[in-house]
Structure formats: C-alpha cells, structure tokens
C-alpha cells in the first residue's frame, strides 16, 4: 500500500466528461484524461485491503491484480504497474474505456471506490505513448493450427492467448471489419475505432491472421486442429414490431452498426435519425447508446421507454455491497438528452402498443401505453406520439440462427451454447466462448471467457485433455 492515508486525504476524481455542448457536435471520445500527478493521487487511495473484493469474482472477472498495480502507479513505477496489469488483462485500452468497472463498486471504499478503470486506461495509454507496447512474437511455434470464429472481445482474447502459446491462429469474421460489438455496437465516442484498429494491427504483427467478410461454418473448422466459436449472442428480442415491416423500425445494433460504418467509410446513412422523432424501446445501456447517437445525428426529439419501474436511488436490502448496485444511474446519452431537451428521456412503466404508418408503409407515429406492476397495459392510457424511427433495444435471445445452423448446433432454452459440464468444450475439436456461451454480457466477461476457452483448447491441442 503506497500511502496509508491516501483514501482519507484525496477525494475520488474520475476522468471528466467533455461538456455536453462540445461533445454533441462530434463522435469523439467522451472523456478528457486527468493529468499524471492526479492519476497517481487516485492510485494512492487504494488501501491494499486484506481481502481485495475488487479482484474477486464480484469485482473483476479477469482477476486483475488491482491493489498491486495501484501501488506501483502511486510510486511512479508505471512500467512495472503496466506489466502487472498485462499479466491478467489482455486489452486494458478497451476495458479502460467501456467496462462498467464492477471492481469500483466492489471496492471497500464503496461509493467512493478507487478509480481503477481510469487508472488502468492511464497505464495502457502511457505504455503505448512511450513505446513500451511492442509486438510479442512467440519464440516457438507448436505446429498446431486454431480457428477463432468471431472477432469480438472473446474471440480477440482467445486468439491472443492461443497465439502467445505458440499456435498458429486464424480469426474469421463475417463482418467487413474485426472487433464484434467493439466495432459495430459500442459507439465511437465510448470506444474510438482507431483504438481497436491499433490493437488489431499489433495482433497481426504478432502473427495472427484476420479474415473479414468470412462467415465460417463447420467445414471451416474442419480444416484446423481446433476451432473456438466466439460468435456472440446477437439474436435481438423483437416485441413484435420489427416483423410488421414498417419502414423506420429497426434493431438497435443494426442502427448503431450503420452509424459507425458511415462514420468510418462515409456515404449516406439510410438509418440516420436526422430530423426524425426517435423512440428507443428499452431503457438499458444499448438504448442509451442509441439516444446518444440519435442526438449526434440531429434527431428532432428522442425518448427512451422502459417497461420496468425506475430503479431505487439507493441499494435495496437484497442488493448489498460488494454486489453491483442495481440503482438509478444516468448514463452519458441520457445526460445529453436532458441537456438538449430539458428532461431525462426515460419514461418508465411504458411501452409501444401499436404503430401508425402512412400509405407507403412509413412509420409516422407510435401509440404508447402505461403498464401496471404486472406489466399489463392499463386501458385508457394510450397516447399517440410522432415517431419516424423506432429503435428496438429490448435485449438479445442468444446465438444467431445462421451461426447455429452453420455448425449444426442446438442452443439451450436460454439461447446459449453452454456445454453440459459448464466447460468450453462443445464436441470433437470445437470449443465455445463469450456471449455465445454465457448469453449477452459484458466485454470484461467475454475477455475472461475467451482466455479460459484458449486454455482448454491449448490443453486439447497439446494432448493434455
Ligand atoms: C450496443 C451495445 C453496447 C454495449 N456496450 C458495452 C459496454 O459499454 N461495456 C461492456 O462491458 N459491454 C457492453 N456491451 C456488451 C458487450 O459488447 C458484449 O458482451 C461483448 O461484445 C461480447 O463479446 P463476444 O466476443 O462474445 O461477441 P460479439 O462482440 O458479439 O462478437 C461476435 C462476432 O462474431 C461474428 N460472427 C458470428 N458468427 C460468425 C460466423 N459464423 N463466422 C464468422 N464470424 C461470425 C460476429 O459478426 C461478431 O463480430 C454492449 C453490447 C451492445 C449490444
């Protein structure tokens, strides 16, 4: 522990957000990093607890050695701190930007938890800027080949570790760019895409081959000594509106994908929210990303409907520390909408009841209805709102149909390809990891799961299994 009284002397300070009026004018990063001396002070707040919940299952699926690298950071030994971080965290530049930081809520300082996420980001970005991050070329190759199918965080983490173990790795990605939801899902302002591309280039220099526009199936897997499926849980839940076929109704990830694609490649965005009244169906994080993106595209208005009641302001009795607090949070997009529209865009215990279209099948309005505590519509509460774009952000029901049929696999009742023994081994030379195995989750969990799958595939490849 660096400074015994650090947590008493220094208040928690996160990397500040750029102001709403500035950041709404672009799709650039939301945050501005704090200076080096303040970052060291933040690391000095870590108490090196006897039982560090931050690195337990509650706090960090990767089991990062948080108190150890906080201490080194406080002492100004950044390079050693970074080495300690990289022992468990494959891509701190992603988690340092998008992780909800379960570790900070599990910290013994509770609501005033140490700013581990920003500290982690500072370390990795210092490493890149000082040239400490160099390609790690494995000194010996095993002669075994592995296919990683899907290039989201679980696929990248799995490919990285298998490659470091000396296997020859090819990553197959059916989209035109690698990264999964890191590329086409999480918006640029949360994770600038050049950060992702920097890592992909590094992985290529380390010997990993990426094949994009390449949807893989069982015959692809057959050509390798082992294959790990990392295809995500991308089948969206449709409350029934998408299948009605009205023009102006679309799934959140399709909308966010198109937004990033046009940001990177230019051209017209057919799904743009410009001048449209937007309703986002779903009050969660994906919905929040849609709100923020619609505002940047110049929507006429945006609101976000949630079927459940608003969460409590404080932890409920059944949700004690060090669990993640299920309390009311205002995310960046919701804060931006409040800045522009003068009120929080979220409307609770409300959903869309029906759609109104014009003679050409274009969406013009949505009829909303209030819900009772059993989520049944309350008669007489219907209201018609102008709506030119309805974004469905109602969650995911598991692995997508094409990928299941391409591998002849059946999902369980929750849409997951979870092996019966809870491992990552599906059958023969086939392994599975990430959201495809666990259901839609978090980047940090997908990274941890990808590394675990790599260890199991390595045991298989080296005849230890
Ligand atoms: C909009 C949105 C925002 C999110 N924001 C956050 C956040 O801020 N923080 C956080 O922690 N989590 C966030 N999440 C969750 C997180 O992104 C996922 O849990 C994580 O990306 C899962 O990683 P994965 O590698 O398992 O799958 P994915 O990221 O979904 O990647 C799967 C990849 O496999 C490819 N694929 C599928 N089938 C095939 C095939 N047959 N052949 C080749 N390629 C194939 C897909 O094209 C895709 O690129 C968000 C999710 C969404 C939807």
From the first residue on, what is the mean pLDDT of each consecutive set of 10 residues in the chain (465 residues)?
87 97 97 95 95 94 97 97 98 98 95 96 98 97 98 98 98 98 98 98 98 97 98 95 92 98 94 98 97 98 97 94 94 98 98 96 98 96 98 96 92 93 96 97 98 98 88
Check if 49 has its Cβ closer than 6 Å to any atom of ligand 1: no
Nearest ligand 1 atom to alpha carbon 449: 26
For 277, list phi and psi in degrees, rounded to 5.
-80, 125
Nearest ligand 1 atom to alpha carbon 175: 47
Expressed in angstroms, the distance from the first to the final Cα of the chain is: 41
Q: From the CA of 461, how far away is ligand 1's center (Å)?
A: 26
Check if 251 has its Cβ closer than 6 Å to any atom of ligand 1: no
Is residue 322 reached through a cis peptide bond, with omega within 30 degrees of 0 on the bond before it?
Answer: yes
Q: From the CA of 157, how far away is ligand 1's center (Å)?
A: 13
Cβ-count burial 55-75 (b if 16+ within 10 Å, e if not): beebbbbbbbbbbbbbbbbbe
Nearest ligand 1 atom to alpha carbon 290: 1
C-alpha to C-alpha distance for 403 and 384, rounded to whole angstroms: 39
Nearest ligand 1 atom to alpha carbon 186: 3
- Rounded to whole angstroms, the maximal C-alpha distance in the chain is 71
Check if 434 has its Cβ closer than 6 Å to any atom of ligand 1: yes
Check if 170 has its Cβ closer than 6 Å to any atom of ligand 1: no
Check if 291 has its Cβ closer than 6 Å to any atom of ligand 1: no
CB atoms within 10 A of CB 310: 14
Structure confidence at residue 1 (pLDDT): 66
Radius of gyration of the CA atoms of the chain, in A? 23
Q: From the CA of 142, how far away is ligand 1's center (Å)?
A: 30
Contact predicate 156/443, CB 8 Å: no
Q: From the CA of 187, how far away is ligand 1's center (Å)?
A: 13
Check if 151 has its Cβ closer than 6 Å to any atom of ligand 1: yes
Q: From the CA of 70, how far away is ligand 1's center (Å)?
A: 29
- pTM, two decimal places: 0.97
CA angle 127, 133, 134 (to 5 degrees): 160
Q: Coil, strand or helix: which one is 458?
A: helix
Structure confidence at residue 262 (pLDDT): 97
Q: Whose CA is nearest to atom 21 of ligand 1?
A: 181
Check if 286 has its Cβ closer than 6 Å to any atom of ligand 1: yes
Mutate to test the pocket of ligand 1, among 231, 256, 257, 281 (most ligand atoms within 8 A of CB): 231
Check if 148 has its Cβ closer than 6 Å to any atom of ligand 1: no
CA angle 438, 155, 406 (to 5 degrees): 75
Q: From the CA of 117, how far away is ligand 1's center (Å)?
A: 20
Q: Whose CA is nearest to atom 13 of ligand 1?
A: 442
Check if 285 has its Cβ closer than 6 Å to any atom of ligand 1: yes
Check if 196 has its Cβ closer than 6 Å to any atom of ligand 1: no
**Domains, the chain:** 6-129 (1.10.1060.10), 145-234+397-461 (3.50.50.60), 238-394 (3.50.50.60)
Distances (CA, A) of 181 to 121, 158, 260, 399: 20, 16, 11, 14
Structure confidence at residue 242 (pLDDT): 85
Contact predicate 124/79, CB 8 Å: no
Q: Whose CA is nearest to atom 49 of ligand 1?
A: 180
């Amino acid at each position: 522990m660096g400074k015994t009284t650090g947590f008493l002397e220094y208040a928690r300070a996160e990397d500040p957000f750029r102001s709403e009026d500035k950041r709404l004018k672009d799709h650039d990063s939301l945050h501005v990093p704090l200076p080096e001396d303040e970052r060291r002070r933040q690391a000095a707040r870590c108490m090196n607890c006897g039982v560090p919940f931050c690195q337990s299952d509650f706090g960090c699926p990767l089991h990062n050695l948080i108190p150890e690298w906080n201490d080194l950071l406080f002492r100004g030994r950044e390079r050693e701190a970074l080495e300690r971080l990289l022992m468990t965290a494959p891509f701190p530049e992603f988690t340092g930007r998008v992780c909800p930081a379960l570790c900070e809520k599990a910290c013994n300082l509770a609501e005033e938890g140490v700013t581990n996420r920003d500290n982690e980001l500072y370390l990795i970005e210092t490493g890149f800027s000082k040239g400490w991050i160099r390609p790690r070329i494995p000194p010996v190759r095993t002669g075994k080949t592995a296919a990683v199918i899907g290039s989201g965080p679980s696929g990248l983490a799995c490919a990285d570790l298998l490659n470091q173990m000396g296997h020859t790795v090819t990553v197959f990605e059916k989209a035109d760019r690698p990264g999964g939801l890191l590329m086409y899902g999480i918006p640029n302002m949360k994770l600038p895409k050049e950060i992702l591309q920097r890592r992909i280039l590094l992985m290529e220099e380390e010997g990993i081959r990426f094949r994009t526009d390449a949807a893989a199936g069982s015959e692809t897997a057959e050509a390798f000594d082992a294959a790990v499926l990392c295809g995500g849980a991308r089948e969206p839940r449709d409350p029934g509106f998408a299948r009605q076929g009205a023009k102006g109704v679309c799934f959140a990830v399709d909308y966010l994908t198109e937004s990033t694609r046009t940001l990177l490649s230019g051209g017209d965005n057919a799904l743009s929210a410009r001048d449209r009244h937007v309703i986002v169906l779903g009050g969660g994080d994906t919905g929040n990303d849609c709100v923020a993106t619609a505002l940047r595209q110049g929507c006429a208005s945006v609101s976000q409907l949630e079927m459940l009641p608003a969460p409590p302001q404080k932890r409920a009795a059944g949700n004690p520390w060090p669990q993640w607090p299920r309390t009311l949070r205002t995310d960046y997009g919701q804060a931006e909408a409040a800045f522009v529209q003068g009120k929080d865009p979220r409307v609770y215990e409300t959903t869309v009841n029906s759609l109104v279209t014009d003679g050409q099948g274009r969406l013009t309005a949505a009829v909303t209805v209030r819900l009772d505590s059993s989520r049944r519509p309350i008669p007489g509460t219907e209201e018609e709102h102008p709506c030119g774009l309805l974004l469905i952000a109602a969650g995911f029901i598991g692995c997508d149909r094409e990928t299941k049929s391409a591998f002849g696999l059946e999902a369980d009742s929750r849409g997951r390809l979870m092996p019966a023994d809870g491992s990552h081994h599906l059958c023969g030379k086939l392994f599975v990891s990430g959201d495809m195995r666990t259901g839609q989750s978090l980047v940090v969990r997908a990274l941890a799961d990808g590394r675990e799958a790599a260890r199991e595939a390595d045991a298989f490849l080296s005849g230890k299994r």
